[in-house]
Amino acid sequence: MLITNIKNDDAVSRTTVGAGYARGLLNLAVAKGANRAQLLARAGIRADDLEDQDNRIPMGNYVALMRSGQALAADPALALHYGEAMDLSELSVVGLIARASDNMTEALAQLNRYGRLVVEVEGIGFENRFQMRKDAEGLWLVDTRKNANEFPELTESTFARMICGSREFGDGSRPFVKAVRVTHPRPAHVDAYERVLRAPVTFDAHENSMLVDEVWQDFKVARASRYVFGIFSEHAERLLAELETARTVRGQVEAHAIPMLHTGELGVDVIAGKMGLSRQTLYRKLKAEGVTFEGLLDDLRHRMALHYLDGQKVSVNETAYLVGFSEPSAFSRAFKRWTGRSPRHRAAA
C-alpha cells in the first residue's frame, strides 16, 4: 500500500471512506489516463471492494488511491477535478438525500448528519463538521476537520464539490462562494484553483472555510419528493448505525459472537483470536468502552432472546439453544434475571 505524508497513522486506520466515493475517484483517474489495475494495486484495493457503494474502504487506501491517481494520471490537481466532476448522488445515498432536501440549509444539515457515510474524518464524531459563522466580512462555512494539512486533497475535493455543485441551484446571477481560505500551502497547480473554484483563495490560512453569499441558504433544491427523502434517510440511518457498530470494539465482538452464540463456547480467547488480539488487549479495549466481556455476552444473549421470542417463530426451548444455553432451566433462570418474568410468559404475550 502506498501512503505518503500521513503522520497520524492510528487516526487514519480508524477512519473509512464509502466505496462509491472511492470508485468515483478511481474512474476519474482512469479516464485521465491511469491504468486501472496498476492504480488498484498501488492503492491496495480490490475491484470487488468497490462494487457495493455502501461498502467501506480504509482511509489509508483512499489516500493511496488519490496520490497514485495523481501520479499515474499526471494530474496534480486530481482532487480539485474530482470535486468539480462528481455527482454525489451517483456515489452515495448522502447525495440522494441532499438532492431531496427542501433548500440548501437543509441539505447542509443532512450532510452534517450523514456525511460520515461518504468520508469519515479525524476529530469529528457526532458534532457538525461543517459550521456556519458570521463575522464582519460575512457568513463563513467552516470545515472543522482536524489535521487537514496531512491530506489537503480532501479539502480540495470537498470545497470543489460544494462550489461546483451549488451552481446547479439558484438563478446563476450570484456566486455561491465569494472567497476561500485553506490551511495548506500554495500548491504548484494554483491555476486549477482559479478555474474550478472561481473565487480568490488564501493559502496558509488559519482555517478551511468559504465566504458564502447569504442568499444561498434559501436556494431551492428538492429534486425528489419528501417520500423519497424519507426512504433515503431510513437507508442512511441503517448504514450510520452499522458504521458506529463497526467502529466500537463492543460492536466487533458482537459481530463475531452472534453466529457462534448457539455453540455456548464463546470464551474470550476464542473471540480475541478471531479479532487478532490477545486476551489482555481485548479486556483492556472493552474496559475503555465501559464494558466487560462477560457483561457484553450476557446482554447480547438477553437481546437475542427477546428478538427470537418476540418474533414468535421459535419455541422457548429453541430460543434457549440459539442463545447458547444447553439446559432450558438455565435459560429460564437467566431470563427471569433479565426481565423478572419467565420466557414462556414473554412468548405467550
pLDDT at 137: 93
Nearest to 324 by CA among 285, 270, 281, 272: 270
pLDDT at 119: 86
Is the four-CA dihedral 305, 310, 311, 315 of positive or negative sign? positive
pTM over 0.85? The answer is: no
Rounded distance between C-alpha atoms, residue 136 and residue 134, angstroms: 7
The count of other CB atoms within 10 Å of the CB of residue 97 is 27
String of DSSP letters for 236-286: HHHHHHHHHHHHSHHHHHHHHHGGGGGGS---HHHHHHHHT--HHHHHHHH
208 has which bridge partners? 143
Enter the CATH code of domain 248-348. Answer: 1.10.10.60
Looking at per-residue pLDDT, the higher value among 69 and 121 belongs to: 69
Looking at per-residue pLDDT, the higher value among 192 and 169 belongs to: 192
For the chain, percent of residues with pLDDT exceeding 70: 83
For the chain, percent of residues with pLDDT exceeding 90: 40
Give the model confidence (pLDDT) of 128-149 as tens digits: 899 999 999 999 999 999 999 9
Q: How many residues does the chain have?
A: 349
Asked if residue 29 lies in contact with residue 39, where contact means CB atoms within 8 angstroms, the answer is yes
Cell 448504514 identifies what position? 239
Give the CA angle between residues 268, 272, 278 to the nearest 5°. 105
Would you call 143 helix, strand, or coil by DSSP? strand
pLDDT at 233: 67
Nearest to 119 by CA among 13, 19, 16, 43: 16
Give the model confidence (pLDDT) of 201-258 as tens digits: 999 999 999 999 887 766 666 555 555 556 666 666 677 667 766 677 887 887 778 7
Residue range(s) of every CATH 1.10.10.60 domain in the chain: 248-348
pLDDT at 245: 65
pLDDT surpasses 80 at 12: no
pLDDT surpasses 80 at 280: yes
Give the model confidence (pLDDT) of 73-113 as tens digits: 999 999 999 999 988 878 877 777 777 777 777 777 877 78
Least reliable range by pLDDT among 24-38, 64-78, 164-178, 290-304: 164-178
Looking at per-residue pLDDT, the higher value among 254 and 127 belongs to: 254
Confidence of residue 326 (pLDDT cuts 50, 70, 90): confident
Rounded distance between C-alpha atoms, residue 318 and residue 261, angstroms: 13
One-letter identity of residue 122 = E
Cell of 190: 494554483
pLDDT at 23: 93
pLDDT at 312: 64
Spatial neighbors of 179 by CB under 8 A, at least 6 apart, are 137, 199, 200, 201, 202, 210, 211
CA distances from 249 to 66, 120, 241, 270 (A): 29, 17, 14, 15
Phi, psi of 203 (to 5 degrees): -95, 165
Looking at per-residue pLDDT, the higher value among 157 and 168 belongs to: 157
Where helices occur in the chain by DSSP H, the ranges are 9-14, 19-31, 36-43, 59-72, 78-85, 93-99, 104-114, 152-166, 190-197, 226-247, 249-257, 268-275, 279-288, 293-311, 316-322, 328-339, 343-348
Would you call 203 helix, strand, or coil by DSSP? coil
**Average pLDDT, rounded, for the chain:** 83
pLDDT at 128: 83
- CA dihedral defined by 148, 154, 156, 157, rounded to 10 degrees? -160
Cell of 343: 420466557
pLDDT at 311: 63
Looking at per-residue pLDDT, the higher value among 287 and 257 belongs to: 287
